[in-house]
Structure 1
Amino acid sequence: MDRVAKLASQKAVVIFSKSTCCMCHAVKSLFYELGVSPAIYELDEDSRGKEMERALARLGCSPAVPAIFIGGKFVGSANTVMTYHLSGSLKRMLKDAGALWL
C-alpha cells in the first residue's frame, strides 16, 4: 500500500494500468487527448505488480485497473473518470491538480 501511495503522489495524474486492458487504453487516450501526460504504471510489466494490484483492490478499486489518481487522491476507475469527463468536472479536477493550464 505504501508503494501505491508513494507512486500516486509523485505526479498530478497517475494511472495504474495493465498493458492488455482495453478500458485502461481508453482512459490513457482520454488523458492524452485532454493534453495531460500522466504517469502510467503497467502492473503486468512490474515485478511488484500483483502486490500493487492487491493494494488497489483494498482501496476499493474493482476491477483493480485502471485506477486513476489525480492530485495524489484516488478518483476511481474508468467509469468514474468518464462520468467526471462527461459532466465537465474532470477538467476542473485536472486544473486544480496542476495537470492542465487552460
Structure 2
Amino acid sequence: MSAAKTKAQAIINENAVAVFSKSYCPYCKASKNLLDGLGAKYYLIELDQVDDGSAIQSALADISGQTTVPNIYIGQKHIGGNSDLQAKKGELKSLLTEVGAI
C-alpha cells in the first residue's frame, strides 16, 4: 500500500468525521459550513495545502472510487461529496451524534 493510501486510510479510521477538501473549492466550503453550523467536530485536511495532497486524492479514488473533493467520511463510512452531504441534512445531526462528533 502506498504511503498516501496508508495516510488517507488512517485519517478515515481514526476520526469520527473526516473531510478531504481544497481551500478554494466552493463545494468544500458549503460542506464545512453545514458541519460547522451543526457544531460538528471533524478532521479537515486541505489537499491543496499539504505536500502529498495530490497523492492522497489519488489514494482516495482507490479507496472510495470518488475523484473529487470534498470527499467526506462519517463513522468510517464514505458519505460522498457536498451534494451527498447536503442530501443527508435531515439525518445529519443524528448521524453525527451517533459517531460522537457532536
Q: Assess same fold via TM > 0.5.
A: yes
Amino acid at match of 2:32: K
Which of 63, 66, 73 is residue 61 of structure 1 equivalent to? 66
Q: Is the 8 A contact 2:58 2:67 kept in 1?
A: no
Q: Secondary structure of 1:44's match?
A: coil
> Structure 2 regions of 5+ residues with no counterpart?
none
**Identity %, equivalent residues:** 35
- Give matches, 1:32-43, under 5 Å: 32-43=36-47
Q: Cα offset for 1:95?
A: 1.2
- SS of the residue corresponding to residue 15 of structure 1 reads strand
Instruction: Extract structure 1 runs of 4+ deviating beyond 3 A.
Output: none
Supply the distance in 1 between the matched residues of 2:77 and 2:10 (Cα, whole angstroms). 11
Secondary structure of 2:88's partner?
helix
Please name the residue that 2:99 is paired with: 97
Structure 1: runs of 5+ lacking an equivalent? none
Match of 2:22 among 4, 13, 18: 18
Q: Deviations over 1:10-47 (max 9, x none)?
A: 22111000011010011001100001121100001111
**Superposition TM-score, scaled by structure 1 size:** 0.88
Measured in 2, the distance between the counterparts of 1:66 and 1:99 equals: 18
For the 8 Å contact 2:17–2:42, the answer to whether it is kept is: yes
The number of residues matched between the two structures is 97
- RMSD (Å) for aligned C-alpha atoms: 1.1
SS in 2 for 1:68: strand
